[in-house]
Amino acid sequence: MNDGRPFPFRWLLPLAQLTFCVAIMWTVWHYLGGRAWRHVKTDAKTVEAPAEQINLNITLPFTPEQQHQIDLAQARFDLPASLNLPAGFLQIPYAAYSSEKTEWIPKNIDPLISYFPIWRSLTWPFLGIVFWWMVGRSIEALFAARTRLISPRIRWIEVICGLAIGFLSGGLFIMTVTGSEPWHEKELMMGLGSGLWTILGAAIVATFIIQWRLRRRAKNQLQESAQGLV
Residue 80 has pLDDT above 90, yes or no: yes
In this structure, is residue 80 part of a structural domain?
yes
In this structure, is residue 218 part of a structural domain?
yes
In this structure, is residue 26 part of a structural domain?
no
Measuring CA to CA, which residue among 132, 125, 127 is closest to residue 14? 132
Mean pLDDT for the stretch of residues 19-46: 76
Mean pLDDT for the stretch of residues 85-109: 86
Length of the chain: 230
Mean pLDDT for the stretch of residues 93-101: 84
Q: How far apart, in whole angstroms, are the C-alpha atoms of residue 207 and residue 86?
A: 19
In this structure, is residue 44 part of a structural domain?
no
In this structure, is residue 35 part of a structural domain?
no
In this structure, is residue 177 part of a structural domain?
yes
In this structure, is residue 163 part of a structural domain?
yes
Residue 51 has pLDDT above 80, yes or no: no
State which amino acid sits at residue 39: H
More confident residue, 177 or 59: 177
Domain housing 87: 11-19+64-222
Average pLDDT value for the chain: 83
More confident residue, 142 or 75: 142
pLDDT the model gives residue 126: 96
Q: How far apart, in whole angstroms, are the C-alpha atoms of residue 46 and residue 50?
A: 12
Measuring CA to CA, which residue among 60, 88, 69, 48 is closest to residue 194? 88
In this structure, is residue 36 part of a structural domain?
no
**Taking phi first (over 0 means left), then psi (-120 to 50 degrees means alpha), and beta for anything else, what does residue 155 get?**
beta
Q: What is the number of structural domains in the chain?
A: 1
C-alpha distances out from residue 215 to 83, 134, 145, 220, Å: 33, 20, 11, 9
User: Whole-model pTM?
Assistant: 0.81
